Amino acid sequence: MITNSKRLNLGCGRNILTDWINVDVVPLEGVDVITDLDDCEQKKLPFADNEIDEFFASHVIEHLHNPLPFMEELHRIAKQNAKATFRVPYGSSDDAFEDPTHVRQYFLKSFGFFSQPFYFKADYGYRGDWLTEKIILLVDAHVHQGKNAEQIMFEINTFRNIVKEMIVELRAIKPIREAKAELIVSPPIEISLI
């Protein structure tokens, strides 16, 4: 299906998506744009302001040393209400720690720090604003079949290696909101048995 939407597949590696602009630091076959996503503070991404409709990043952001400049740069090139989907290893899983190229872990509230309201206590100079619309936690069906969401959430918050992967859906907010605690919105959390 060909679309007129401009969509970026960030840190694509060998996962080349048709009808997407595939972006990576390594010049692999199928990569359309070669750029370092971890250098957004020094070098802007090669896209105009308000140009991109959608972003997809699978197991990318946990490799970045500088996620705030990266997310601010995505916000610059995002159209208002652009969608961004991130897939990451959950912070309390072995997957988050075993790969020596992972530089940080992400948890349920981590993506909130890519919104302005979270900075009501401190200002780090970040000027992007992404609303977390939904968080999906993928857990093992064999282990959790028959348990209700409350039981599974207790285990997620108590033990390691419960969540296999976290998928976070964001939306670009323009103009950016004020840094006020009362503007913080808790996203719905969906538990998906796999």
Domain ranges of the chain: 7-193
Q: Which has the higher per-residue pLDDT, 121 or 1?
A: 121
**Residue pair 130/73 in contact by the 8 Å Cβ criterion:** no
Alpha-carbon dihedral sign for residues 39, 31, 96, 54:
positive
pLDDT digits (tens, 9 = 90+) for 161-188: 999 999 999 999 999 999 999 999 999 9
Stated pTM of the model: 0.95
What pLDDT, on the 0 to 100 scale, is given for residue 4?
79
| Cα 163 to Cα 91: distance, rounded to the nearest angstrom | 9
Buried b or exposed e, range 154-193, using 16+ CB within 10 angstroms: ebbeeeeebbebbbbbbbbbeebeebeeebeeebeeebee
pLDDT at 160 over 60: yes
Cα(178)–Cα(148) distance, rounded to whole angstroms? 37
Q: How confident is the model at residue 154 (pLDDT cuts 50, 70, 90)?
A: very high
Q: What is the mean pLDDT of residues 31-35?
A: 98
High-pLDDT (> 90) share of the chain, %: 95
Which residue, among 112, 126, 135, 141, has the nearest Cα to 190 in the 3D structure?
A: 135
pLDDT(3) > 70: no
- Per DSSP, 98 falls in state H
- In CATH, 7-193 is 1.10.760.10: no
